[in-house]
Chains A and B, each alone.
Chain A
Amino acid sequence: MTEASQTAAPAQTSRLDRVGIVVAAIAILGMDWQSFATLKPNRLISGQGLSLGASLPTLWAAIGIGFLSIATIVAVLRTGAWLRLAVGIGSLLVLAVLIGIVPATVVPPENTFARVSPASGFWLMAFAFAVMTTDAVAKLQLGPLARIAMLLGAAVAVAVILGSGHWDGLSILKEYATNSQKFWREGAKHIELALGSLAAAIVIGLPLGIACHRNATLRGITLPVLNVIQTVPSMAMYGLMIVPLGLLAAWSPLAASLGIRGIGTAPALIALFLYSLLPVVANTVVGLGEVRRSVVEAAEGMGMTKFQRLFQVELPLALPVILTGIRIVLVQNIGLVTIAALIGGGGFGTFVFQGIGQAATDLVLLGAVPTIALAFTAAILLDAAIELSERRRL
């Protein structure tokens, strides 16, 4: 009796995929109740939403609705992970192709002011099928190298579509066209700020973490201080940097000649560096603390010097935990750099704040989308590195 009822219960739910139900609900909401694209007479005036059917030629609309509907059914049903992966990626590609066709369909060629941008329906569907894809990747339990390969594939796909000019009619790329030089300059600045502050945090934080591991008194002072720094809101932190650095520049010609001023790159770097310290130091302390006592004692008993012990045994064994700290810092910094634009630090945030100022959503997106892509890429790469470093550690 009990056995029968136990086996009956899963059998009822086994036809439907739990994640798939959510994916399908979001996809249907996006397809049927939200507009697919927005058409604006010019870049500042708010526009009018177009449904999937209204924004595409009949044939394309039929193909699109047909494919995405089948994909939704595949999502709901309990199907193999490889099929779900293929359908998820396929749906994202179909969406990418469809949105590129919209501008030529709804805007007469002689009208250069009108703007077409993806609307909530597009974003909802893109989100739904992205969830389906990542869920399938998780179910397949792909190794770190396979995940990096998938990331590379996605990057190539986006590059090919961008290079083909298929998306050139979309408003975000029109914003890019007028800002292309500035885009790459700010992009380089963004990466420079995120990586520069991370590098500084590693150079200072790693030795500090090692010292804290060995000295309980130092640890008792350092970690609480870094914790407090971490709780200062980023806007306030940037603001706090302005006065002391401004005074320093006024007082010391050397500092001024090095480009240290109350606003700009210097305060941004210092603020990001301070935020980066806690995860690096704390994870170094935890990672070294987790190395088994017997292993450390054996290294010492074999006649390793302190340095040999640290570099051959302790740091390699603590590496996965330290890398986790670095992952936190990098993803966090890529986001925080956006706000540094407020004090003239540069980076993709420049477009975000400029866009907010002009009420130009497309310009905001030009700053936000690459920031998200960068953070996502950093997360995948470092997760893969952490997993590779963990393989031999048991």
Chain B
Amino acid sequence: MIELENVSRRFGDQVAVDDVSFTVERGTITVIVGTSGSGKSTTLRMINRLIEPSSGTIRIDGKDTASVSGEELRRGIGYVIQGNGLFPHWTVARNIATVPTLLGWDSSKIARRVDELLSLFSMKPEDFAKKFPHQLSGGEQQRVGVARALAAEPGLLLMDEPFGALDPIIRAKAQEDLLAVQRRLGITVVLVTHDMEEAIHLGHKIAVMDGGKLLQYAPPAEILAKPAHGFVEKLVNGVDRPFRLLSLAPVSSIVEPGTAEGPPIAATATLRDALSELLWHQREALPVAGPDGALVGRISLASLRAHAGVPA
């Protein structure tokens, strides 16, 4: 759990972050979203004290971050930045081993950990361990960057625009990878982005910042349904809101008893997928299948419509 309490940061007369407080639950993904100059990166960097807060307190699992040295704190927190920041003169294996080496792990343990992480990101250790960063594609570099951040098994991962430099297809893949790894390891992630779509897709909770202030901190559904007046509204209006809202919930959440004609939809699919299928097959309702393939009920256009917007 990370707690930010009245945290501010000033650079000279400029207030970069202004009295920000929020709490990140353990094992969740929190996305800080905002335009450049909103203070989102500064907020992230204050968590691992790359930037010291001018005032306020930050606690990780109840412990004040100011009570340990900056280096010690950072070695316990994974950190990924845009453009990956891999060390160009080191091999992939040595890059991944950075923090374990700083922590003084013995070499056989480090080697095992490097192999394990490369496999986790579906890169064969024998193919990749000895390569240099410039021999990798952009997507591979990004994965190595995340693997390096996870090397010392941190409970917390900070990511500063980690997918900013990737093209759309690789970016979508990298986002799925992150979600899978986060679910598997159960780590806490705080991610900074300027992209609202990315925030809605990845975040359990979204913190919207502008001008150094935290404007709204809520789950994506609430940000979409009840955006705070002004900046957040403007930011959210740009997104096709009904579809976004539908994509956040699974079919199982609104399945109704009964049956319908047509190809069945999996209960785990999103409501957005269901809408797409209903429209494509030109039907008012479709049957819903459980994980074992048995039909568990039906889903109708009418119930989807009720979930796709703000009640009048």
A residues sitting closer than 8 Å to B (CB atoms) are 292, 294-295, 297-305, 308, 313, 316-317, 392-394
Q: Is the Cβ of A295 less than 8 Å from the Cβ of B98? A: no
> Closest residue to A317 on the B side, CB-wise?
B89
Question: What is the bound-complex CA distance between A298 and B99, given in angstroms?
Answer: 11
> Closest residue to B135 on the A side, CB-wise?
A394
Question: What is the bound-complex CA distance between A286 and B46, given in angstroms?
Answer: 30
Residues of A close to B299: CB separation below 8 A:
none
Also in contact, A302 and B88, with CB within 8 A (given A308-B102, A394-B134): no
Residues of A close to B134: CB separation below 8 A:
394
Question: What is the bound-complex CA distance between A197 and B46, given in angstroms?
Answer: 46
CB distance from B283 to the nearest CB of A (A): 51
Also in contact, A313 and B87, with CB within 8 A (given A297-B81, A301-B79, A302-B99): yes
Closest 3 CB pairs of A and B: A298-B85, A303-B75, A303-B74
For chain B residues 43-99, which have a beta carbon within 8 Å of chain A?
A: 48, 50, 70-76, 79, 81-89, 98-99
Question: What is the bound-complex CA distance between A249 and B18, given in angstroms?
Answer: 64
- B231 proximal to A (CB < 8 A): no
The one of A295, A303, A304 in contact with B73, judged by C-beta atoms closer than 8 angstroms, is A303
> Closest residue to A312 on the B side, CB-wise?
B87
CB distance from B134 to the nearest CB of A (A): 4
Also in contact, A301 and B74, with CB within 8 A (given A294-B81, A394-B134): yes
Q: Is the Cβ of B50 less than 8 Å from the Cβ of A303? A: no
Also in contact, A304 and B88, with CB within 8 A (given A392-B132, A394-B134): no
B residues sitting closer than 8 Å to A (CB atoms) are 48, 50, 70-76, 79, 81-89, 98-99, 102, 132, 134, 148, 158
Interface centre among A298, A300, A308, A392, by most chain B C-beta atoms within 10 angstroms, is: A298
Also in contact, A317 and B88, with CB within 8 A (given A302-B79, A304-B102, A392-B132): yes
Q: Is the Cβ of A294 less than 8 Å from the Cβ of B82? A: yes
Given contacts A297-B85, A303-B72, A394-B88, 4 further A-B contacts (CB under 8 A): A301-B48, A302-B74, A302-B75, A392-B89
Q: Is the Cβ of B48 less than 8 Å from the Cβ of A295? A: no
Residues of B close to A299: CB separation below 8 A:
85, 87
Chain A binding surface, main DSSP class: helix
Question: What is the bound-complex CA distance between A39 and B71, given in angstroms?
Answer: 76
Question: What is the bound-complex CA distance between A297 and B83, given in angstroms?
Answer: 11
A-B contact pairs, 16 of them (CB 8 A): A292-B85, A292-B88, A294-B82, A295-B88, A298-B85, A300-B74, A301-B81, A302-B79, A302-B102, A302-B148, A303-B75, A303-B99, A304-B98, A305-B71, A393-B89, A394-B134
Residues of A close to B132: CB separation below 8 A:
392, 394
Also in contact, A295 and B102, with CB within 8 A (given A304-B71, A305-B71): no
The one of B75, B76, B85, B99 in contact with A294, judged by C-beta atoms closer than 8 angstroms, is B85
Question: What is the bound-complex CA distance between A129 and B63, given in angstroms?
Answer: 75
The one of A301, A303, A393 in contact with B88, judged by C-beta atoms closer than 8 angstroms, is A393
CB distance from A313 to the nearest CB of B (A): 6
Residues of A close to B88: CB separation below 8 A:
292, 295, 317, 392-394
Question: What is the bound-complex CA distance between A301 and B149, given in angstroms?
Answer: 9
CB-based A-B contact count at 8 angstroms: 65
Residues of A close to B50: CB separation below 8 A:
297, 300-301
Q: Is the Cβ of A303 less than 8 Å from the Cβ of B84? A: no
CB distance from B259 to the nearest CB of A (A): 55
Question: What is the bound-complex CA distance between A317 and B88, given in angstroms?
Answer: 8
Residues of B close to A298: CB separation below 8 A:
79, 81, 84-87
Q: Is the Cβ of B83 less than 8 Å from the Cβ of A294? A: yes
Residues of A close to B79: CB separation below 8 A:
298, 301-302
CB distance from A47 to the nearest CB of B (A): 58
Question: What is the bound-complex CA distance between A298 and B88, given in angstroms?
Answer: 12
> Closest residue to A394 on the B side, CB-wise?
B134
> Closest residue to A299 on the B side, CB-wise?
B87
Question: What is the bound-complex CA distance between A303 and B84, given in angstroms?
Answer: 16
Residues of B close to A300: CB separation below 8 A:
50, 74
CB distance from B65 to the nearest CB of A (A): 13
The one of A297, A302, A305 in contact with B98, judged by C-beta atoms closer than 8 angstroms, is A302
Question: What is the bound-complex CA distance between A313 and B94, given in angstroms?
Answer: 12
Question: What is the bound-complex CA distance between A292 and B50, given in angstroms?
Answer: 17
> Closest residue to B103 on the A side, CB-wise?
A303
CB distance from B219 to the nearest CB of A (A): 28
Question: What is the bound-complex CA distance between A394 and B86, given in angstroms?
Answer: 11
CB distance from B25 to the nearest CB of A (A): 23
Residues of B close to A313: CB separation below 8 A:
87
The one of B71, B83, B87, B89 in contact with A303, judged by C-beta atoms closer than 8 angstroms, is B71
Question: What is the bound-complex CA distance between A188 and B88, given in angstroms?
Answer: 41
Question: What is the bound-complex CA distance between A168 and B82, given in angstroms?
Answer: 68
> Closest residue to A291 on the B side, CB-wise?
B88
Residues of B close to A394: CB separation below 8 A:
88, 132, 134
> Closest residue to B95 on the A side, CB-wise?
A298
Residues of B close to A308: CB separation below 8 A:
102
Question: What is the bound-complex CA distance between A297 and B145, given in angstroms?
Answer: 13
Question: What is the bound-complex CA distance between A24 and B156, given in angstroms?
Answer: 71
Residues of B close to A292: CB separation below 8 A:
83, 85, 88
Question: What is the bound-complex CA distance between A295 and B87, given in angstroms?
Answer: 6
Interface centre among A300, A317, A393, by most chain B C-beta atoms within 10 angstroms, is: A300
Question: What is the bound-complex CA distance between A118 and B158, given in angstroms?
Answer: 73
Question: What is the bound-complex CA distance between A180 and B295, given in angstroms?
Answer: 104
CB distance from A286 to the nearest CB of B (A): 17
Interface centre among A299, A303, A394, by most chain B C-beta atoms within 10 angstroms, is: A303
> Closest residue to B83 on the A side, CB-wise?
A294
Residues of A close to B74: CB separation below 8 A:
300-303
> Closest residue to A313 on the B side, CB-wise?
B87
Question: What is the bound-complex CA distance between A84 and B82, given in angstroms?
Answer: 50
